Amino acid sequence: MRLLFVCVGNSCRSQMAEGLAKAMGYQADSAGTHPSGSIAPHAVTVLERRNISTEGMQPKNVNAFSAEGYDMVISMGCGVQCPAMKIDQDWGLEDPVGGPLSLYESTADEIQRRLNLL
């Protein structure tokens, strides 16, 4: 299954979702409507603690992707409006940006839980 995770900055939730999904064997990408300059350090820490490589991961613009190349497009829950892209699910996850590492960990746990349900 090919998954695309979208949000605004593509620096936290969608990046963690991409990494976690790939670790489960999915083909996954992530993108943002207004990509940040870098991945949040705590998001990198969370993935690396789970033995998921973050090499080569960087924020990407959603305009570089087409929903037609994916089985499912999932919004992380940040009110993303992608007029040219159909969103299949909105996971409604709290944005951990600026929060403690524990918030990133709990967000990753919830992403993992939802991936297990797919």
The vertex-69 CA angle with 83 and 32, nearest 5°, equals 45
CATH architecture classification, 2-117: 3-Layer(aba) Sandwich (3.40)
Low-confidence stretches of the chain (pLDDT < 50) are none
Summarised one tens digit per residue, pLDDT across range 56-81 is 999 999 999 998 889 999 999 866 66
Q: Where are the domains of the chain?
A: 2-117
Q: What is the pTM of this model?
A: 0.94
CA dist 31 and 60 (Å) reads 5
* pLDDT on residue 86: 84
- Give 32's contacts (C-beta < 8 A, 6+ positions apart): 6, 7, 8, 9, 10, 11, 14, 59, 60, 61, 62
Amino acid identity at 76: M
